Amino acid sequence: MLNSNSASFWLDHPVLVTGATGFVGSWLVKRLLSLRANVICLVRDWTPESELFHTQTIEKVTLVRGSIDDQFLLERILGEYKIRTVFHLAAQAIVEIANANPLSTFETNIRGTWLLLEACRHSTTIQHIIVASSDKAYGEQPNLPYDERMPLQGKHPYDVSKSCADLLAHTYAATYGLPTAITRCGNIFGGGDLNWNRLVPGTVRSLLRSERPIIRSDGSFVRDYLYVEDVIDAYVLLAEALSMNQHLRGEAFNFSYAQPQTALEMVQRIISMMDIHLTPDVRNEAKNEIQNQYLNATKAKQLLHWSPRFSLEKGLHATIEWYRANLNRPH
């Protein structure tokens, strides 16, 4: 549920988005532009397949080419554009890549976060910093669902990188009073996600190609799934709430439908919705991944008055329709 004052809050508001060409970043930029914010995007790689480029949204933002690990550049952006709000989404977000290349994942997800927070500490204009963490930051916990009081104890490379980035955001809030807040979502899905090894886009693409959808695990792993537009609502709402309540500094919030699914259940749900009945290819190849992981979003509902606009079913329907319309588009 969004604040009714969103339009006036964001009008001409200078915002920096890191990770803007990513799946979630592209949706966030689109939303901020609809609210008439002044959006500055830090972009490392030129990715023409990104929604930010395909929809020509890139032409409506100030684009700065560079890397999250460039301290001087970060400080220049914050100062030159008088940035008031930062959405930090830049990350290496694929578990398999983290397992194969832990150093590059740590460089981006951990070092990139502390460099950005340090640049924000030196800024005279920063008012809100939203750090996009993940349910993976919790690591594996003995009790489910996970809530925000649980310790962050990632064990494997990707999980550890999110635990560390999350703790860094809390550290800068607790020690320096930096106006940070942290989001922890489950598996985000929606149109525009072109990482085909993720369960939802991979399954939809396979079915549209009349191929058996692949499940890398044994199918029993349990996860939360959250539609991308509900995630964007959460980011925007949290930034607005942070501006009105200093007690939210350093706080983390889970966002979830509270409707956990096994991988096999999720694939079967998509098969049923698309009415393309192909048997999943269950490969049982997943390594260094948590078996069961899902979130309690009570805190966000009580303190932020957040509620999702979409159901799991409605979000999947919108996602499937996006891929039907866009899968074969020219790049």
Catalytic (active-site) positions: 158
Torsional sign, CA 187, 193, 199, 201: positive
Q: Which single residue is written with the structure tokens 């805190």?
A: 299
**Distance (Å) of CA 291 to CA 148, 224, 294:** 19, 12, 10
Question: How far, in Å, CA of 304 to CA of 316, rounded?
Answer: 25
Task: Give bridge partners of residue 16 from the DSSP assignment.
Answer: 40, 86
User: How far is it, in rounded angstroms, from Cα 105 to Cα 264?
Assistant: 28
Distance in angstroms (rounded) separating the CA atoms of residues 266 and 310: 16
What are the percentages of helix, strand and coil residues in the chain, rounded to 5? 45, 15, 40
Nearest CA to 33 out of 15, 45, 19, 46 is that of 15
Give the side-chain half-sphere CA count within 13 A for 77: 29
Q: Which ranges constitute the DSSP H helices of the chain? A: 6-10, 23-34, 51-54, 71-80, 95-100, 102-106, 112-121, 157-176, 199-208, 228-244, 263-274, 298-299, 312-326
Helix (H, G, I), strand (E, B) or coil at 173: helix
131, 88 contact by CB (below 8 A): yes
| End-to-end alpha carbon distance in the chain | 35
92: left (phi over 0), alpha (psi -120 to 50) or beta: beta
Rounded-to-integer distance, Cα 177 and Cα 41, Å: 25
